[in-house]
Amino acid sequence: MRFLKSASLFFLLSVLACNTSHLQAAASRRQTIISPEVHSDGRVTFRLNAPNAKSVGVNAQFARGVRPMTRNKSGLWSITLGPVEPEIYEYNFVVDGLQIVDPANSWQKMWIRTSKNLVEIPGKEPMFFQQQQVPHGTVHLHKYPSNSLGVTRGLYVYTPPGYETSENFPYPVLYLLHGMGDTEDAWTVVGRANFIADNLIATQKARPLVIVMPYGHTPSAPPDMRSLGNYAAFEKDLIEDVIPYVQKNYRVSKEQKDRAIVGLSMGGGQSLTIGLGNIDLFGWVGAFSSAVPKSPTIDDLLANAKVNNDKLNLLWIGCGDKDFLFQANLKLIAQLKNDNIKHVAYITEGGHEWRLWRIYLNELVPLLFRAGK
C-alpha cells in the first residue's frame, strides 16, 4: 500500500513537472516575442504569435490600410514597415477580421470603447515631447468626490520640477482637456504634456506651472445634461468641484490672470464654452481642432468684444488644414476677425491627430502667464 501511494505521488509529481515545463516553455516563447521592434533606420517590425489564425495584418497609422503579415512554420506572423518619420503612432492587429491589441506591447492608448497600441520612432535628436536629460516634474493621480455629479472621478495633476521643495509663490495653473472618447490620462499617455512642460521649463521658454487634466465625460449627469455638445454638467463639475479641490491640495494661484483653460476637439469646445463663458475665472483660452460650439452659443460668448479684449490675455485657436473640423474653425476665426476680438490663429498642415496637438501645446504653453497681452 505504501508503495502504491509512493508510485501515485511520483506519477502526480511527474505530471505536474511536465505541465510546468510546458507552461514555462510557452511563457518563454511569449517573452521572446519583441513587438514592435524599432530599428535604427526608422523601420518597424511587428510580430504576433497566432498559429491558428488564417490571416493576420497590422493597421498602423503611418501605413495605408491593413498590411498583411507573413506566417512562419511555428505560427509567428510578422511584417517590417518603413522607414517611418520620427513620431508617436497608433496601431493594432487584425486577426481573421477582428481588431486586437498587441499582447507584447503594454503601451496602449485607452478610449472609452476600445484601445490601440502606441509605438514611438525616435529621431536623431530628442523630440520636443520626449523625455530628455532635464529636471522632471511629477504626475499625480487623484480620485476626487464630485458633489455636483454625485460620483468619484479621476484627475491627473502635473507639478513642475522643484514644486515639492519650493514654497515661495503660488503657481499658475492650466486646465488641459482631452477629446471625445479619451480619458483623463490622454494628455500624459500620448500627449506627453508632462515632458513637453519639463523641456520648456528647463530651457526657460515657459514659466513653471501646474497642469490639471480632468475627465471630460459626464455619463452620470442628469439626462438633460448628457447630450453631445452640452457641456453644462462638466462645467459645473470643473468649477464647483475640480478647481476647489486643486486649490485646496496644491499651491496654485486663485487669480484669473494665472488660470488657463485649453482643450482638443471636444475639449476645445469645452474650453471655448467654459472659458469664454466664465471670463472672470480664466484669463487664457486655447482650442485645438475644436468642436466649435454652435450658434447661438458661440454668438452669445463673443457678443461683447470689449469685455473679451479687456479681460482675456489670450485666445488661441489651432487647427490642421485637413481636419474634418477645419471649416468650422475657419468660420470661428472669421467671426473673431469680424467682431474685432483679439486672438491668435495657428493653422498648420495635417488632420485630426495627436501629432498636431502636441505641437500646439508646445507652441501655446510658452505664451501663457506672461506679463502683458
The whole-number average pLDDT for the span 52-62 is 95
Q: Taking phi first (over 0 means left), then psi (-120 to 50 degrees means alpha), and beta for anything else, what does residue 21 get?
A: alpha
Q: What is the pLDDT of residue 3?
A: 42
- pLDDT bin (cut points 50, 70, 90) of residue 371 is low
The whole-angstrom separation of Cα 178 and Cα 278 is 19
* Listed residue (205, 222, 91) closest to 148, CA to CA: 222
Write out the H or E segment, with its range, that includes residue 120. Answer: strand 115-121
Tell me the mean pLDDT in the region 86-96: 95
Q: What is the CA radius of gyration of the chain?
A: 25
Residue 335 grid coordinates? 467671426
Does the structure show a pLDDT above 60 at 199?
A: yes
Q: Of all residues in the chain, what percent carry a pLDDT higher than 70?
A: 87
Check pLDDT > 70 for residue 266: yes
When comparing pLDDT for 187 and 25, which is higher?
187
* Whether residue 223 has pLDDT greater than 90: no
- Share the mean pLDDT of the chain: 88
Phi-psi region of 42 (alpha: psi -120 to 50; beta: other; left: phi over 0): left
List all residues 6 or more positions away from 103 whose beta carbon is below 8 Å from its beta carbon: 30, 48
Instruction: State yes or no: pLDDT of 19 exceeds 70.
Output: no
Task: Give 151-186 pLDDT, tens digit per residue.
Answer: 999 999 999 999 998 876 899 999 999 998 888 999
pLDDT for the residue numbered 313? 95
- Is the pLDDT score of 225 beyond 50? yes
> What is the rounded CA–CA span in Å between residue 287 and residue 266?
9
Residue 218 has pLDDT above 90, yes or no: no
Sorted by sequence, the CB contacts under 8 Å of residue 213 that are 6+ apart come out as: 155, 156, 157, 158, 176, 177, 178, 184, 185, 186, 187, 188, 193
In order of their start, the domains of the chain are 30-121 (2.60.40.10), 138-367 (3.40.50.1820)
CB neighbour list of residue 11: distance below 8 Å, 6 or more residues apart = none
